[in-house]
Structure 1
Amino acid sequence: MKDELFADLLASTREMIEIENGERTPNPEHMHSYNVVDVKAIREAAGKTRDELAKIIGTSTETIKSWETKRRNPTGPTQKLLRLIQTNPSGMIAILEEDNKVASRQA
């Protein structure tokens, strides 16, 4: 390994340790944050079990569990759907349940 590359790597490691120890603040342009939906809070506000919510939004109970335990995060259209449910739990759940009933009758 070239000395210059090693020196950069060592400096980065020291910076990381200082940030972890609260001795240094990271540069804002290097910080990333993610706005993750709280699936458990959404589900509880809707008054649904994991099984019920999974059926309503068309996913598995295991996926709901993964989102609630933060092993995985909903993305794309599912995240948008959950945000809609979050804004109006009872109204959105009623719409989705009615849509599922219509789809079942058509099948």
Structure 2
Amino acid sequence: MEKELFEGLVESIRQMNAIEKGEMEPARVHRHHVPNVKSLREASGLRQDEFAEVVGVSASLVQSWEQDRRIPSGSSLKILLMLERNPAIINELRAV
């Protein structure tokens, strides 16, 4: 098993060198757009703790998102994307 792991590592290094030399294209990685949480929150006129309550997470998580220490995911990411597209839904979320 260790030999297989080592061979995989060596192959990865070969691919990296080929990509750097332009001999190979890097694999495409699908990345989600991540909204700017601080901008969304500020546009809503809410403090971090208020915004956290509306989104359904802790204030410390909102702070981590704003400081780029954590990346939103799952249902939180979907809610943030919805807020980015339609900021007016903040009022609907507040009512829930």
- In the superposition, the TM-score normalised over structure 2's length comes to 0.69
Q: Which runs of 5+ in 2 are unaligned?
A: none
Give the match's secondary structure for 2:80.
helix
Residue ranges of structure 1 left out of the alignment (5+ in a row): 100-107
State the distance in 2 between where 1:18 and 1:44 align.
Answer: 45
Runs of 4+ in 1 over 6 A off after TM superposition: none
Equivalences, count: 94
1:69 corresponding residue in structure 2: 67
Answering whether residue 96 of structure 2 is matched by residue 95 of structure 1, we say: no
Q: Once the two structures are superposed, what CA deviation does each residue of 1:23-49 show, in whole Å capped at 9, x if it has no partner? A: 437525x22131142222222222222
TM-score, reference length from structure 1: 0.63
Aligned in 2, Cα 1:7/1:58: closer, same or farther, shift over 3 Å? closer
Check whether the contact 1:36–1:73 (CA below 8 A) recurs between aligned residues.
no
Provide the alpha-carbon RMSD of the alignment.
2.9
Contact preservation (8 Å) 1:43, 1:53: yes
- Residue matched to 1:79: 77
State the Cα deviation string for residues 6-59 of structure 1 (Å, max 9, x = none). Answer: 67644532543565xx5437525x221311422222222222221220121221
Q: Which has the larger radius of gyration?
A: 1
Aligned to 2:46: 48
Which structure has the highest helix share of the two?
A: 1
Identity across matched positions, percent: 37
